[in-house]
Structure 1
Amino acid sequence: MQHFLWGKVVLVLVAVVAVLQVVHLILLSRLEARHHHHDDQSDQLASAGNEVEAAFAVLVRSLHQGRVLDSSGEYQLVPNLAPATRLPQLRVSSSLPDIALVTQCSFNHLHRVVTLIQRWQGPISVAVFAEDHDLSEALWTIVGLRLCYSAIRHNVSFQLVSPLPAGGRPPLSVPQDPAHPCQLPTPSRSEQQRNYAGSRRFPNNLLRNVARRGAATEFVLVVDIDMLPSVNLRQDFYDFAVKNRLFTESHREDKTVYVVPAFEVRETVPVPRHKAELLQLADQGHLRPFYIELCWKCQVCELHVAGYKFSVLNNGFLVHHGLKTATSFHVNKDMDQERNRMLFRQFKTELRDKYPESSRRCY
């Protein structure tokens, strides 16, 4: 009997050893696979790094070869810094039967293009402002957006505006200790709430014009980078334009501006996607007309004097996430506003000379 029990113990021990050997082999196999995977990942990261640096070099070359001065001689423009890859026909066609979204921003707000393309899903022209010391980081961010988001690479064209440096321009190079190109830096909440406040004046009108010239579609929608359109706005207007034959030659001289109503919503609620959600937020007191607290009478002036008529779209809209208040701007905003008032008075005088036969005026 004792001999029989020892025999069973030996069999059990042999089985345990066999199991342990199998487990050992499995662990060795997984460890080896992990090493191979780590090596593959290292190779992929090295390849991605080379691709990013190559793309960065392309943008540097585009900047050096494509820069021109604006009419004031104060700013350097690069109109085609990084054109969209899906629209090569823009080079041979003066206008396409489509709608482009036209926007502008300082380089540190480029991350907003990600949510913008998700809503728009079509051609976008972005004019980016960056001072001398920010140019490398601006180019790096644009490279990351194009490499990491195919929709941006295919649909978004980037233009650059930069003030001329007082001395020599610093050399352009990959930023020191750059983040992975897909990890876009985003400003803090307080920084996002405040407008641009760099050492140079932010040339918003110049930026809008540069971005506008970067779009070669039949219609354009000009917005700020922090405004989000309603879902399907582009497709809905395209269908409307086709139905009403707005893309035909006979409508090319039609003086009609299609107005997209703009609103601002509290940061504590999500940006509405459709008109039903917009109306619900308005009923709850979370949404109001854009800029209502700061400048309720701001309007498009020259189009009015030039004889255009305005047709407000019914279901489309734009929304700014956050309410615009006097405290949501940088400390020199009052000086900017006063300067703008002086320029506007001068602008109204110029309009009377430009359109002497028009009976329309801006107030």
Structure 2
Amino acid sequence: MAEKYPLPQLHGVLVLDKPTGPTSTRCLTAIKRLGQKKIGHAGTLDPLACGVLVVLLGEATKIAPYIMEGEKTYFGALTLGQTTDTYDSQGAVTAEASAAHVTPEALTAAIESWRELTSQEVPPYSAAKHQGRPLYELARKGLAAPVKVKDISVFDARAVSVDPPSATFRVRVSAGVYIRSLVHSLGMRMECGAIMTALTREASRPFELAQAHNLDDILADPQSLPGRIIPLDAALPHWPTVVLDDPAAEQVRRGIRIPVGDGFPDQTYALLVSEARLPLALARAEATDGRLRWAIVRGLFGDPQPARRDGTDAPARQSTP
């Protein structure tokens, strides 16, 4: 169907409800076959996981760093008494132990103690790289790789249901946190091992599961894809939007730093758009010669020329949607 009814390249964000089973790459490949040659994502999900997968199309791929940094919310399930090489139920069992000594109170406390963590070990089966090669590739070949440790933030962690050896939980974390590593570390502390058995990403800020679209529905009706896309001018709802009149928009296209209007402090990030809501650039307010001007961080729909500091002032009408 995708080959018979090709779509033009779209520009915007597709919030996909990734199903359990396929890799994130496989999901993107399915969308790519609908004529979307320029495509990316704002944070992968393991095959076991389902939920919010933020797909970036066309010019939206340029805003990936500013979406990927958003905090994530997950609902997951774990089981005590096993350890696997992947830290989840899809891996090979490497150890088993009784969890009879674990009380509901102890398991609840262990889950809530995740809030105290400031770092974690990256799982050996992950897309993180060592000397340019993914760790999962090295692990599958039995090759040694150093243990990588990364800084993390766990803003909230709560047990939802606890019935040892099983439990469900909800966590709100910084970008890049491996939930299966949280579960693995819990198993080590409980001295019986633990594996993640299910995971749903409920939110990848600023997007939530309620906004997500079913992949099968899209593939069954490719012509519905354009109507499911969040346009670029609405893709960063947590950023202020600055609407420029024609003279100011032209200066931005030429790479000129235009004055920042009232109400925007130094180092504020904003999306600059034309009066027709055409995205022009991602910008940051910076002090230049004693005055705040918009410095272009990333041009959209054609990169602007290198920013100049001596541009002619132009009026900028500013609003927040």
Same fold (TM over 0.5): no
TM-score normalised to structure 1 length? 0.21
Structure with bigger helix share is 1
TM-score normalised to structure 2 length? 0.23
Structure having the higher Rg: 1
